[in-house]
Amino acid sequence: MYYSVEAIETPSLGDEQRAVIISVDPREYPRAVVTTANGVARSIGINSGMSTAIATRMAREQGIEVVYVAPRHDVYATYSRRLMDLLRTETPLLEHRSIDEAALDWRHHGFLSEPVVELRRRILDEIGLSVSFGVAPTLLVAKMASEVAKTRQNHVCLVCPGEAEAFLAPLSVRALVGIGPKSEARLRGFEISTIGDLATRPLDWLVDQFGSSYGRYLHHASRGNDESTLVGERNSKSISAEHTFSRDTSDRAEIWRRLQAQAREVADRLREDNLVASEVAIKVRYGVTWETITRQQRLGSPTDDPSVLAAGAAALMRKAWTRRPIRLIGLRAARLETRSDAVQLSLMSS
């Protein structure tokens, strides 16, 4: 993300033919390390975490001029917040893993490329960042798919159910999450160079060679098996429901029925979690163009009443919908608080 943000802020960096290193000048800070670098620098072996002094020497030995750009972590954090806020509009659950990585619950979209491509386009248009997406049945495979996506033209890699082993098999064993340089060297010593090679080894053999815990991990991970689950943010920021129509529609009665159903679903989930909402929002994605709009409004008081949520969503639709055929409709409840807190606030305000 760091170099992408700098290129957005200073567009000339995008076409820079010199080696651009995000780091302080090693002549002033001899122990500095490379935060990241542009494609020119990476092509000659300069990587994140490398000594900036060594990186500079590598570039100059090949006759390449070096430019230093001091890192601006406050700016990167601002872009990260904008990115995560946008992602939250597309998922009921998000795990924010690092400044430039997140895992999303994508089940409501299924294994279709169009929603992912559209989300990537929105991020590029609204924030300017080029991101890569991996979609898979498990977190482990999704993470690896996101790495493969970086090499693809559309920056998207889909791994459908039942395809995980075939997807993983040709990849280098080093690509498997949890395998570092030392483990890779040991595995290659056993003539295991791909994840597919690893998957053929019996569990007992892996346990004998690498111990019970790591051996079992290698056995399951090489087959794409992963029981880990998303760890959401500490407090739910919203609860949403969405529906993709089988055909684009402008039928007001059908759209209203879907909003009512979504309001009931969201209200049920609010009650299950003992929550109430002070804001309702809609998401509309038009057919053909895939343009997506979102609108939200505050409610009169915190609620888990489906009729109130549906009425608020209908009011937003009347203002925002241009009567063009719709591909997707969504309803979201936000500004959540626990029911007990809401009752206490209501008593105090009265």
Residues with catalytic roles: 101
Helices (H) and strands (E) in the chain, counts: 14, 11
Q: What is the DSSP letter of 224?
A: T
Q: Give the three-state DSSP class for 194.
A: strand
Local structure of 119: helix, strand or coil: helix
Q: Is 241 exposed, middle or buried (0-12, 13-18, 19+ CB in 10 A)?
A: buried
Q: Is 204 exposed, middle or buried (0-12, 13-18, 19+ CB in 10 A)?
A: exposed
Mutual angle of helices 203-210 and 181-189, in 10-degree steps = 120
Cα–Cα distances (Å) from 126 to 15, 23, 30, 121, 135, in that order, read 21, 27, 38, 8, 22
CA 38/CA 59 separation, integer angstroms: 12
What 8-state DSSP symbol labels residue 301?
E
- Pairwise CA distance, residues 210 & 218, whole Å: 9
Largest CA distance in the chain: 75
Spacing of C-alpha 97 from chain mean position: 9
Residue 332: beta bridge partners?
240, 281
* Residue 237 vs residues 3, 84, 233, 234, 338: alpha-carbon distances, Å: 30, 12, 8, 9, 12
